[in-house]
Homo-oligomer: A and B are copies of this chain.
């Protein structure tokens, strides 16, 4: 890795004295310390790691780049719902409004669509009392949408509204859009700060240890697993099969499997498994049912894609590859297998995805959303751009968007998390031995 990829861009040098109320010894508040411009967080916290790779640390600076009373900020949310969106919106608003004194803060409706015709006519100033009320609700008051952003039209709108700071809350598609907007802004010489708050319920954005909404998602996922386990235990040869979110990364499925303590087979995109053969899931399941009479399977939507011979690859509107439906595929294959063998099984299939996405943030996500929102404002006020606020080794950080989107974060099949999954489920490799040793 190269430290230059970790350098955060500045749209404008921070030359004004900060107006942040809760840092510094200005006689109006308690004395919280500023983050110095050279404070950095090590990428690798293990002894022996490369000390030259590090992230810029997040937090309020002594010097800011925008004069609050003359600045306009705008906030948008984009992509699928995720617990905590409103908490982040509220936190960004409150920090701009109360901590720095920015009074003109616009709400962009329906993601990037709201910066384009015809939706841009719905751009409206956000109201303080409304922003207070939404902090703990599910969904996004700004609405969301998935579409390919028209960068030129968007920058036209940014110019038309005189926006100085744009906060983009969304996934890697959204952040790629934010980067493209930043580039178009640079091309036009417009000093607009574009700061992202990474939103991925799958927790799969690169160089960010934990994203908001993930904890809440795991909490609700384990409730669905508990229901599946109850159904499985109460039926003759009951099988509970729960499909969870996770197109590329199985973090929700892995963590919910550990948290539930009921899962027998946890299937994620990062770890290959087979259905057929002596070591495949079907045979393993059959042997388990013979002795334990029930089983619970949690499967991430992106797991086992190689098993499904679909021929065609489908994409959603923003170009994300759509996963073939492994949940229904497994359901049908398991049912067919036992029918062939004249064994009665009672398989119950469930997919709690929409209930998970729309939930309000739990307490720890709420805290994370609050801190990320404040961090995004601190960064924008200090003139940063083309970056997202992340967390790493216990600190909040600034991550350049090109670095964050260069690849998804994946479960390491040899790492601690997957080992804890195996220790909790007790599941075998589900592949032939030679492959397990490979």
Contacts and interface: CB of A to CB of B under 8 A. Distances in A.
Given A143-B236, A234-B139, A235-B143, A40 B51 contact: no
In this complex, the member of A54, A364, A394, A436 whose beta carbon has the largest number of chain B beta carbons within 10 angstroms is A364
Contact of A139 (B29, B99, B231, B394): B231
A406 interface: no
In this complex, the member of A228, A231, A234, A255 whose beta carbon has the largest number of chain B beta carbons within 10 angstroms is A234
B31 A437 contact: yes
A10 interface: no
Looking at chain A's contact residues, the main secondary structure is mixed
* Copies of the protein in its oligomer: 4
A256 interface: yes
Nearest to A110: B236
A392 B47 CA distance: 13
Give the top 10 A-B pairs by smallest Cβ distance, nearest first.
A230-B358, A139-B230, A227-B358, A259-B363, A40-B47, A45-B393, A135-B261, A219-B363, A45-B45, A22-B422
In this complex, the member of A30, A236, A396, A423 whose beta carbon has the largest number of chain B beta carbons within 10 angstroms is A423
In this complex, the member of A54, A358, A359 whose beta carbon has the largest number of chain B beta carbons within 10 angstroms is A358
A401 to B, nearest CB: 22
A367 interface: yes
A27 interface: yes
Given A39-B47, A392-B394, 18 more contacts: A22-B419, A23-B419, A27-B436, A30-B436, A42-B42, A42-B46, A110-B236, A113-B236, A138-B227, A138-B230, A145-B236, A224-B355, A228-B354, A255-B367, A367-B420, A370-B420, A374-B423, A395-B416
Interface of A: 22-23, 25, 27, 29-33, 39-42, 45-49, 51, 54, 57, 59-60, 81, 87, 90, 94-95, 98-99, 110, 113, 132, 135-136, 138-140, 143-145, 209, 215, 218-219, 221-224, 226-228, 230-231, 233-236, 255-256, 258-261, 271, 348-352, 354-355, 357-359, 362-364, 366-367, 370-371, 374, 392-396, 413-416, 418-420, 422-424, 426, 428-429, 433, 436-437
